[in-house]
Amino acid sequence: MSVVLDIQNLQIALPKGADRPYAVDNLSLQLRAGEVTCLIGESGSGKSLAARAILGLLPAPRVRASGGRMLFGDIDLRAASPETMRAIRGAGIAMIFQEPMTALNPLHTIGRQIDEVLRLHTRLSRAERRTRIIELLADVHLPDPARLLHAYPHQMSGGQRQRAMIAMALALSPKLLIADEPTTALDVTTQAQIIHLIRTLQRERGTAVLFITHDFGVVADIADTVAVLQRGTLVESGPRDAVLNHPQHPYTKALIAAVPRLIPPAARPEPATRVPTILESRKLRKTYGARALFGGRTTTALDGVDIALRTGETLGLVGESGSGKSTLARAVTRLLATDSGEILFNGHDLAPLTRRQLRPYRKRIQMVFQDPFASLDPRQTVLEVIAEGPIIHGTPRAQAHAEARTLLGLVGLDASAGDRYPHEFSGGQRQRIGIARALAMQPEVIVADEPVSALDVSVQAQVLALFADIKARLQLSMIFVTHDLRVALQVCDRIAVMRAGRVVELATAQQVFAAPQHPYTKDLLAAVPGAAWQQAMLERTDA
Amino acid sequence: MKVFASFFKKKFFFKKKNQKTFIRCFARNRAAVLGASILAVVLLTVILGPLLYPGSAFKLVGKPLLPPGGAFLLGTDTLGRDVAAEIVHGTRTSMLIGVSATALAVLIGALVGGFAGYYRGWTELVLMRITEFFQTIPAFVLAILVVAILQPSVGSEILAIGLVSWPGIARLVRSEFVSLGGREFVLACTGLGASDTRVIFRHLLPNCASSIIAVGSLLVASSILIESGLAFLGLGDPNVMSWGLLISAGRAVLRSAWWICTFPGIAILLTVLAINLAGDGLNEALNPRLRTA
């Protein structure tokens, strides 16, 4: 098939003082018509910068394409004039981004934003443009396109926005579509739909697609060819099946090994005697309301939720964004006030307690947060972060600091890390600090709210291993919130599937995997990226 | 209280490593460096003033209304006092009032804004309406009123200027607290069982310290202006030499003895300009949202 874009020895220079001189070095890649090329790598591998370089969107002059050629037809995009680039962007090469909310202008309707693309690049009349836009919106399977023309981005769901972005990108039938992690911000079920959509549209139109992702599951679902980028260097590339099933480079092997497996969890023996419940929610309700002067809409985040965490087990809360799983996690730790219902900790109802009364319970239930960048105070040293809890509860400063140093070792960090500030650490390391902070209180229950969602797969695997290790060693009970069913199956004893503020299914991990009852659970299982590939791999290893 | 004390420890304002980047950022802004240099000269004047012109600023030294350039560098005023000595002594008053009034404004503003931003709800509603009430009254008129009620003195001037300057700080601190309040580290701290005072003074205030410093530095300039205005209207402390008092005294003879009003005017202009330039530079260097590098 014909080569649409031929990248030859691309080099992107970083400013002085960066961690390496070149973000991307000596990258050669051919994007062919009708093919999806996946560029995969961890954060910081330079994959996004490579995509931006193609469109000339690098933050010049500090970061610039310093060498190589990018041949689009017979034009070298690296040397092209700004005017040529403007003509090519949108018409020849289009791009979709990770977060459609920020990529769309919030003040304009979807119709107007797509119209702008057509107005700039074509000579269609007003009525023709309108028909074309409705066609485009229908192509990306948006419901009721004529009405959506007048919708603003905030009135649409994340998946719908991403569809609108795709419609806009395809408006001028570009030869090349660059998709920069277009499904990372979406729920698994939506992600599966969007991937399917891109795949179908690309097949129909023969568009070349450069798909950037960090998830091998997604790669398995969409790619024709795969290119693996490690710290700016292309370490392996080739047809999908060859790379996925017979990776050559150790880095590729490590990345594939780190992908959470969709495999039946190991059978865990049911305890002989009935295990006591340590934390329980009964008929828990929480409504977020716009308490406006003139009424206002309310959203029910928790709609009478009953869950029970048994001593020593890990209970998974799985669901898509907006299902109420994070709200539940914050409610049972009493970081959020609830409207009604009971939160029983060892039989004591925590819901009606005041802040002061809660204090003795605080140290027994600890939380680990999702965002390793926002959950640590940037102005505290790591040691201060970890020792803060014990100091609040009356441990002498020196002793708290000494214990904090020991904890650093327990979570796999060097004791000298204690004197540094959070911004000097990577995401995975910060998450370890967050875990150490929770452990410093010697809690009985840990509530982990999406603790690995913001991390790269390889780091994710390490942090999950740390959780398993700590849980076994310290005999903790744990509530583990995640949107990734693969992760939940791997770490949880029982799984509660949540949707729209309710628990729709609560069963052991094995039952959820082997015999899901609720249709939504089945959807979630089917939407796991790379499910087919992993299934095939599993059968091969069995054979 | 210990938490209060530790807030003012320097390390909360600058992380050691950031200190270097801060200086580099600040130094890149030429205007800010110019401002800082002028400011350094002003501060030097405050320190060395008593050595340069010992004795009282009100001392009569020569014939009245001598033009500048003779025995007295900047001439003499209507009573035969050295204008240069008066300006040098006035510097101290202006800086004292500017800095103390700003400190008072920051204190009130941080408390009001902090409580409003942390507790939200009714507390916020009431506190912010009070803030807006203060904002609707012209600051200078309110300052005149307060000084007139309390008798003109350095203390009442500081109080008056502080009282009219805090609303800006309060709004700034409130908005910073609101945006920080949603961050997970605040939740994490609550989860550890920390008290409200601890969260506010240990975590939230240090995190908006850089914005407060930047805006506060600009407040010093406006305080100096208000002080001169008050003194000009005869509401300054009559026993303490200040730039405003000097201009006020000289305005009757503006046409025959221009130098009495002009030199203190230039002093005010330069000082306020310098503080504004340095303040902008501080803002740029400390505020990560404006930082380009």
Per-residue tokens: B270: 């330069």
Cα(B74)–Cα(A402) distance, integer angstroms: 65
Q: Is the CB of A371 less than 8 angstroms away from the CB of B193?
A: no
Task: Write the residue in A359, A378, A380 that is nearest to B193 by C-beta.
Answer: A359
Cα(A432)–Cα(A416) distance, integer angstroms: 14
Residue range B157-185: mean pLDDT, rounded: 91
Looking at residue B25, what is its pLDDT? 76
Element (H, E) at A367: strand A365-368
Task: Write the residue in A335, A377, A441 that is nearest to B190 by C-beta.
Answer: A335
Strand pairing category for A277-289 and A340-345: antiparallel
What is the residue type of A134?
A: I
Helix (H, G, I), strand (E, B) or coil at A482: strand
| For chain A, percent of residues with pLDDT exceeding 70 | 96
Looking at residue B4, what is its pLDDT? 45
Cα(A526)–Cα(A508) distance, integer angstroms: 18
DSSP string, A44-77: TSSHHHHHHHHHT-S-TTTSEEEEEEEEETTEET
Cα(B222)–Cα(B231) distance, integer angstroms: 14
Looking at residue B22, what is its pLDDT? 76
**Which residues on chain A are in Cβ contact (under 8 Å) with B205?**
none
Neighbouring CB atoms inside 10 A of B139's CB total 18
**Residue A379 in contact with partner chain B when CB distance is under 8 A:** yes
- Residue in chain B closest to A376 (alpha carbons) equals B185
Query: Alpha-carbon dihedral of residues A153, B179, A323, A482, nearest 10 degrees?
Result: 110
Task: Write the residue in B185, B187, B192 that is nearest to A441 by C-beta.
Answer: B192
**Which residues on chain A are in Cβ contact (under 8 Å) with B188?**
367, 369, 375-376, 434, 437
Helix (H, G, I), strand (E, B) or coil at A478: strand
A202-211, B46-55, B267-276: least confident range: B46-55
Q: Is the CB of A437 less than 8 angstroms away from the CB of B188?
A: yes
**Residue A126 in contact with partner chain B when CB distance is under 8 A:** no
Query: Alpha-carbon dihedral of residues A255, A256, A260, A264, nearest 10 degrees?
Result: -160
> Strand (E) positions, chain B?
none
Q: Is the CB of A379 less than 8 angstroms away from the CB of B12?
A: yes
Mutate to test the interface with A, among B22, B185, B208 (most CBs of A within 10 A): B185
Q: Which residues pair with A349 in a beta bridge?
A: A344
pLDDT, tens digit, 9 for 90 and up, residues A279-311? 999 899 888 765 555 555 677 888 889 999 998
Cα(A153)–Cα(A101) distance, integer angstroms: 7
Cα(A76)–Cα(A65) distance, integer angstroms: 12
Q: Is the CB of A366 less than 8 angstroms away from the CB of B191?
A: yes
Instruction: Assess contact for B244 and B228: CB atoms under 8 A.
Output: yes
DSSP string, A272-324: SSPPPEEEEEEEEEEEEE--BTTB--EEEEEEEEEEEEETT-EEEEE--TTSS
pLDDT, tens digit, 9 for 90 and up, residues A424-481? 888 889 999 999 999 999 999 999 998 888 888 888 888 999 998 888 888 899 999 9
**Residue A442 in contact with partner chain B when CB distance is under 8 A:** no
Cα(A125)–Cα(A482) distance, integer angstroms: 49
- Residue in chain B closest to A365 (alpha carbons) equals B191
**Residue B181 in contact with partner chain A when CB distance is under 8 A:** no
Q: Which residues pair with A470 in a beta bridge?
A: none
Is pLDDT above 80 for A334?
yes
Neighbouring CB atoms inside 10 A of A406's CB total 12
Residue range B53-80: mean pLDDT, rounded: 83
- Phi then psi dihedrals of residue A71, to 5 deg: -90, 115
- Residue in chain A closest to B204 (alpha carbons) equals A377
What is the interface pTM, i.e. ipTM, of the complex? Answer: 0.76
What is the pTM (predicted TM-score) of this model?
0.81
Per-residue tokens: B54: 């010992």
Cα(A225)–Cα(A204) distance, integer angstroms: 18
Residue range B25-53: mean pLDDT, rounded: 88
Looking at residue B11, what is its pLDDT? 42
**Residue B184 in contact with partner chain A when CB distance is under 8 A:** yes
**Residue B251 in contact with partner chain A when CB distance is under 8 A:** no
Instruction: Assess contact for B196 and B117: CB atoms under 8 A.
Output: no
Cα(A424)–Cα(A378) distance, integer angstroms: 10
Cα(A396)–Cα(A391) distance, integer angstroms: 6
Helix axes B30-52, B16-28, angle to 10 degrees: 100
- Cα dist. A363→A366, A484, B10 in Å? 6, 28, 31
Mutate to test the interface with B, among A335, A377, A424 (most CBs of B within 10 A): A377
Is pLDDT above 70 for A122?
yes
**Which residues on chain A are in Cβ contact (under 8 Å) with B198?**
392
Cα(A324)–Cα(A503) distance, integer angstroms: 9
pLDDT, tens digit, 9 for 90 and up, residues A61-98? 778 888 888 999 888 988 888 888 888 888 889 988 87
Side-chain-side CA neighbours of residue A65 (13 Å) = 24
- Which residue has 């503020």 as its token pair? A501
- Cα dist. A270→A273, A277, B186 in Å? 9, 15, 39
Q: Which residues pair with A236 in a beta bridge?
A: A228
Looking at residue B7, what is its pLDDT? 44
- Report the Cα A492 to chain-centroid distance in Å: 19
Per-residue tokens: A172: 């001028």
**Residue A16 in contact with partner chain B when CB distance is under 8 A:** no
Cα(B262)–Cα(A185) distance, integer angstroms: 63
Where residue A368 falls among pLDDT bands split at 50, 70, 90? very high
pLDDT, tens digit, 9 for 90 and up, residues B231-241? 888 888 888 88
Cα(B58)–Cα(B93) distance, integer angstroms: 14
A206 CA to chain B: closest CA distance, Å?
42
Q: Is the CB of A375 less than 8 angstroms away from the CB of B203?
A: no
Instruction: Assess contact for A483 and A321: CB atoms under 8 A.
Output: yes
Q: Residues with Cβ < 8 Å from B229, sequence gap 6 or more?
A: B140, B143, B244
Per-residue tokens: B129: 């309406």
Cα(B102)–Cα(B86) distance, integer angstroms: 24
Cα(A212)–Cα(A71) distance, integer angstroms: 20
**Residue B44 in contact with partner chain A when CB distance is under 8 A:** no
Helix (H, G, I), strand (E, B) or coil at A141: coil
Cβ–Cβ pairs < 8 A, chains A and B: 62
B49 CA to chain A: closest CA distance, Å?
39
Q: Is the CB of B192 less than 8 angstroms away from the CB of A363?
A: yes
Where residue B251 falls among pLDDT bands split at 50, 70, 90? confident
Looking at residue A294, what is its pLDDT? 53
Q: Is the CB of B188 less than 8 angstroms away from the CB of A375?
A: yes
DSSP string, A487-542: HHHHH-SEEEEEETTEEEEEEEHHHHHHS--SHHHHHHHHHSTTHHHHHHHHHHHH
More confident residue, B77 or B100: B100
Taking 3-state DSSP, the helix, strand and coil percentages for chain A, each rounded to the nearest 5, stand at: 40, 25, 35
**Residue B192 in contact with partner chain A when CB distance is under 8 A:** yes
Strand pairing category for A477-482 and A314-318: parallel
- Residue in chain B closest to A438 (alpha carbons) equals B192
Where residue A542 falls among pLDDT bands split at 50, 70, 90? low
Looking at residue A268, what is its pLDDT? 64
Q: Which of B89, B87, B88, B63 is nearest to B76 (CA)?
A: B63
Side-chain-side CA neighbours of residue A213 (13 Å) = 26
Is pLDDT above 90 for B38?
yes
Looking at residue A402, what is its pLDDT? 92
Q: Is the CB of B185 less than 8 angstroms away from the CB of A374?
A: yes
- Residue in chain A closest to B205 (alpha carbons) equals A379
Most confident of A261-265, A415-419, B273-277: B273-277
| Gyration radius from chain A CA atoms | 25
Q: Which of B165, B287, B137, B289 is nearest to B223 (CA)?
A: B165
Is pLDDT above 80 for B101?
yes
Mutate to test the interface with B, among A345, A388, A445 (most CBs of B within 10 A): A388
Instruction: Assess contact for A173 and A205: CB atoms under 8 A.
Output: yes
Looking at residue B114, what is its pLDDT? 93
Instruction: Assess contact for A284 and A328: CB atoms under 8 A.
Output: yes
Mean predicted lDDT score pLDDT of chain A:
87
Looking at residue A216, what is its pLDDT? 86
Instruction: Assess contact for B210 and B287: CB atoms under 8 A.
Output: yes
Cα(A337)–Cα(A327) distance, integer angstroms: 10
Where residue B10 falls among pLDDT bands split at 50, 70, 90? very low
Most confident of A187-196, A529-538, B50-59, B129-138: B129-138
Neighbouring CB atoms inside 10 A of B80's CB total 15
| For chain A, percent of residues with pLDDT exceeding 90 | 28
Q: Quick one: DSSP state of residue B202?
A: I
Q: Which of A198, A114, A127 is nearest to A153 (CA)?
A: A114
Looking at residue B293, what is its pLDDT? 39
